[in-house]
Structure 1
Amino acid sequence: MSEQKTVKVKLVRSVNGTRQDHRDTVRGLGLRRMNSESVLIDTPSVRGMINKVSYLVKVL
């Protein structure tokens, strides 16, 4: 079985003052506080979540 591709995301801006659904998306990506990082399986749904909050996160 081939190894699954992963993507690493980091929260680089605060969620203070952002829309509630964007805050929920950040939590759904497994990010809690500033500079926290999460390694996720690269799927279209994860890519969509990253795209939605692209102004808050950085893909490493």
Structure 2
Amino acid sequence: MTGVYADLRVAMIQRDRLTENLKRIKNRMHHWFDRYFPEYSTVFKHWEGKASCTL
């Protein structure tokens, strides 16, 4: 494949890799919060939220 289709294929592969990496990072964050701050999930619904990130 050449041209636009090859670029599209490469972009899709890269997107899949980034999506998998993001899943891994989120799972690690949940693991560490559960391990070191077990009460965190009762105080904040989402660790990515604005209130949580201001801490």
The structure in which a higher percent of residues are strand is: 1
The structure in which a higher percent of residues are helix is: 2
Q: Tell me whether the two structures share a fold, i.e. TM-score over 0.5.
A: no
